[in-house]
Structure 1
Amino acid sequence: MLDLSAASLLMIALTFFLAGMVKGVTGMGLPTVAMGILGTIMPPAGAAALLLVPSFVTNLLQLLSGPSFTALALRLWAMMLTILLGTIAGAWLMANDTAGWTTMGLGAALMLYAGFSLAARQLSVPRSLEPFLSPLIGIVTGVITGATGVFVIPAVPYLQALGLTKDDLIQALGLSFTVSTVALAIGLSSGGALQFDSMSTSALALAPALLGMWCGQKVRNAISPATFRRWFLVCLLLLGLELVVKPLF
């Protein structure tokens, strides 16, 4: 059962406001931030259950905002299918973890993503390799998503390497994140980690997440997105390190 005290609800609301703000500024990061912060105060399975509704709604809006859904779905269907299967399988690890390994895995995933992004390594994948790489990237992303609740590794660097236009990349990320969210819900439900109080609290978290997104879009016009993104990644790196070492003490 979730702790639904006033202090806990306030913490959840503030977390999703901050996560929504990051998404409003950078176009991504809501599940990553939410999992990172909530993972310090509750098991990853509980944190993952809370992010389902805000993540699904915000990513669905992002998915539907672009003009190329059919073309992207046909191009990326194998990756989406293996994300679905891998996430459902990986969620068993999260739902049945009793030794804190998924908390350490969450921290490692955050550190890997932040470190890769700070290094600003731009990869390029030839179109001829996509039929082989897409299913592999999908299954690895799915297992990591299911085990940690973080959707970004290695899906985001891979999609960035496909040479998509800016609008198509945003829509492709929305597609990947939406599939991951649905698959995570299925995996947590089949593993017994998804309960009614989790979903009701997740629905309540939608409002601060949307408010945060709106504020983030306003902030994006006032500061440099590159500067914000750099400091956000540094904080994410430190947060990941804290999650890695936490179970050791």
Structure 2
Amino acid sequence: MFDVATLAAIGAAFLLAGVVKGIIGFALPIVSVALLTVLIGLPNAMAVLLVPALFVNTWQGAVGGHLKSTVLRIWPYLTMATMTVWLGALSLTRVELPLLSAFLGCILIIYALSNMMGLRVTITPVQDRWLGPLIGGINGLVTGMTGTTAVPGVIYLQAVGLERDALIQAMGILFTLSLLALAVVLGGNGILTGELAFLSVAACVPAFAGMVIGRRIRKSLSESNFRRVFFIALLLLGSYIVISSAPWS
């Protein structure tokens, strides 16, 4: 399906995404889907990222000692974020792909800008009773349409006041459940083919290698400075995807 040059570029994309993950502790799915969308298109990108992203986030969601308490705290959000993935994925066969790619670009821009500006909101327990399921439903739609779970997911998890270790574990739980739902939907729609599934498994190797490299780099690199550069790069990449998906491009 893909030539040698494209396969090499896919491997490089996961290597880079793994390096970012190793340095700052997150962003492998959003970096990989952004780069792969440029290389092989959004639906294929969503399929190929599944296994490496699940590999990383299943471990992140399982360890930390806060699994039970975190699930009990945000289960309405997690339920809706998982159940509505299929609804968002309907767009993959019913909406023109350039529009979905442009939407992904907008998500990347929002994610980058919110982090660069230090955006923080607070959701009280009373507000969370209705906001949790609502935002969860939106998150599921976005996941089904773009393969990304960070917006508004991470913003919500920060807003409900989870402490750092519980927040990291909650992100792993959210990403794992969302990606499992996405895998089922993509397989049911015929998008996750055997060839793409094999490629997704193979992509674990460069992704893991990148994480090892990133962790070594982290010891001699300012994480705050790298985050700044990373979000600027993500902003530029999102802008490029939006522009390249426009009708006049």
TM-score normalised by the shorter chain: which range applies? over 0.9
The equivalent residue for 1:167 is: 165
Deviations 1:189-235 (A, max 9, x none): 22221100000000000011111111111222211111111100000
Deviations 1:120-167 (A, max 9, x none): 012111122222111111111111111011111101011011221111
Q: Please state if 1:187 is matched with 2:192.
A: no
The equivalent residue for 1:204 is: 202
- Partner SS state of residue 41, structure 1: helix
Structure 1 stretches of 4+ with a deviation exceeding 3 A read 95-99
- Partner SS state of residue 177, structure 2: helix
Query: Percent same amino acid among aligned pairs?
Result: 35
Q: Structure 2 matches for 1:93-108, cutoff 5 A?
A: 93-108=91-106
- Partner SS state of residue 159, structure 1: helix
Using a 3 Å threshold, how does the CA distance of structure 1 residues 7 and 161 change in structure 2: closer, same or farther?
same
Match of 1:121 among 119, 122, 128: 119
Match of 2:237 among 204, 221, 239: 239
Mapped to 1, the partners of 2:180 and 2:230 lie a distance apart of 26
- Partner SS state of residue 160, structure 1: helix
Q: Please state if 1:44 is matched with 2:37.
A: no
Aligned residues of 2:6 and 2:39 also touching (Cα < 8 A): no
Mapped to 2, the partners of 1:49 and 1:115 lie a distance apart of 27
Aligned residues of 1:95 and 1:193 also touching (Cα < 8 A): no
Aligned residues of 2:47 and 2:196 also touching (Cα < 8 A): yes
Once the 2 structures are TM-superposed, how far is the Cα of residue 96 of structure 1 from its aligned partner? 4.0
The equivalent residue for 2:139 is: 141
Q: Please state if 1:154 is matched with 2:141.
A: no
CA RMSD of aligned residues (A): 1.2
Relative to the length of structure 2, the TM-score reads 0.96
The equivalent residue for 1:20 is: 18
Relative to the length of structure 1, the TM-score reads 0.96
Could you list the runs of 5+ residues in structure 1 that have no partner in the other structure? none
Say how many residue pairs are matched: 247
Q: 1:225 corresponds to which letter in structure 2?
A: E
The equivalent residue for 1:92 is: 90
Once the 2 structures are TM-superposed, how far is the Cα of residue 28 of structure 1 from its aligned partner? 1.2
